Homo-oligomer: A and B are copies of this chain.
Amino acid sequence: MAGDGGYGSRSQFEAEVRWRFPTANEYSSWSMTPLDKMVGNLTASGLHFERHHGGIPTIDPSTHMLFVHGKVDAPRKFSMVDLKRFPSVTRKHFIECSGNGLTEWNKPTLKTVQGTHGLLSTSEWTGVPFATIAREVGLHEDGAWVLAEGSDAAVMTRSIPLQKMLKDAILAYGQNGEAIRPEQGYPLRLILPGYEGNMHIKWLRRLEVGDQPFMTREETSKYTDLLANGKARQFTFEMEAKSVITFPSGEMKLPGAGFYSITGLAWSGRGRVQSVDVSTDAGKTWYPAHLESVPEPICTIRFSFPWAWDGTPAVLQSRCTDETGYIQPTLAQLIAIRGSNGPFGSIYHLNAIQSWGVDADGGVTNVHA
């Protein structure tokens, strides 16, 4: 009687895995969530996307410490036991790597939605609000930015506005009801709701309060957006509204004309998803999709749309509007503002409408339309 007691595992008939991008090595790797195989809003913990800049450290939680210092009254080291004695908060949020879709600016390159959008996952996170820790250490009046540092071989560091840290940052030790997974930062990860994934520092060991940004590698030579005029956008933290159809999607094959329930995910780093529209004619006409649960702030939501396919070629698109009124742009609209510089275009923060072409045989492919 496998699975009776102990710690359970999935069925022998389920085989989805995260797809490790072929360029991966020990210095840089990413592995993508199989969005085409997933249901609901959450991501199974074992399939949460990964982006590593220096592998996954093995950390004994009984010796791990978080050092909070800089412009504070009482610098202090917190053990995991210390942190768990504070009241916790629990919030369901997506994390999206700002490099999600980075090869897709100029032409379709990846075949499946796991490739084009799989650096996106959603979990229930539990931990201590940074605001609680800030009260413990006492902030100086001139504090304005916080450096967060990870324990990985890359010593990942990013600067975060203090205002954001105090608003909703969580020092998270829990993911989906249990300890955070090793590849997600065990035993402690910074959760910055709605900000680009890179800033959610994993294996968090240090927070330094300063009066200006620290200008680390990952916010100067990396994670900036090179515009058409040669200047770069910097500190582009928030992930803007985005959506994608996960069924049908690239490499699938529809068995024939008839009824299909189109489904996908929508999300926004600025708040709740307000509505999602679906088009089956490459954006000429749009219809409102059905949201399959109640929108939560800075969280993916599944939508669906009933489609009677007549067997002729079609182009499927979805478009997200968030509660700020922001409407997900077309790729052409995005390129008009952002250009398409860099080795793969402007690389980060591609939130354009995704198109899936359906041919007369039912084959589905990644297209620009």
Q: Which A residues form the contact surface with B (CB < 8 A)?
A: 1-14, 16-20, 24, 26, 29, 31, 37-48, 50, 52, 55-56, 58, 60-62, 85-91, 122, 124-126, 173-174, 176-179, 181-183, 186-187, 259-261, 263, 290, 292-293, 302, 304, 306
Q: A10-B179, A13-B179 given. 5 additional CB < 8 A pairs?
A: A1-B55, A13-B187, A39-B173, A42-B177, A90-B293
Q: Is the CB of B5 within 8 A of A31?
A: yes
Q: Is the CB of A3 within 8 A of B181?
A: yes
Q: Is the CB of B304 within 8 A of A88?
A: yes
Bound-state CA distance A306–B293 (Å) is 33
Q: Is the CB of B7 within 8 A of A85?
A: no
Residues in B whose Cβ lies below 8 Å from that of A19: 5
Residues in B whose Cβ lies below 8 Å from that of A44: 45, 176-178
Task: Output the least CB separation between A185 and chain B (Å).
Answer: 11
Bound-state CA distance A178–B10 (Å) is 9
Q: Is the CB of A304 within 8 A of B87?
A: yes
Identical subunits present: 2
Task: Output the least CB separation between A203 and chain B (Å).
Answer: 11
Consensus secondary structure, chain A interface: loop
Q: Is the CB of B179 within 8 A of A176?
A: no
Task: Output the least CB separation between A264 and chain B (Å).
Answer: 12
A selection of 30 A-B contacts at a CB cut-off of 8 Å is A2-B56, A3-B50, A3-B182, A4-B56, A4-B183, A5-B29, A5-B50, A6-B18, A7-B17, A10-B179, A10-B182, A11-B61, A11-B182, A11-B186, A11-B187, A13-B62, A13-B186, A13-B187, A16-B178, A38-B178, A39-B126, A39-B178, A39-B179, A40-B88, A43-B177, A44-B177, A86-B261, A87-B290, A87-B292, A88-B304
Determine the residue in chain B with the shortest Cβ distance to A32: B5
Task: Output the least CB separation between A351 and chain B (Å).
Answer: 22
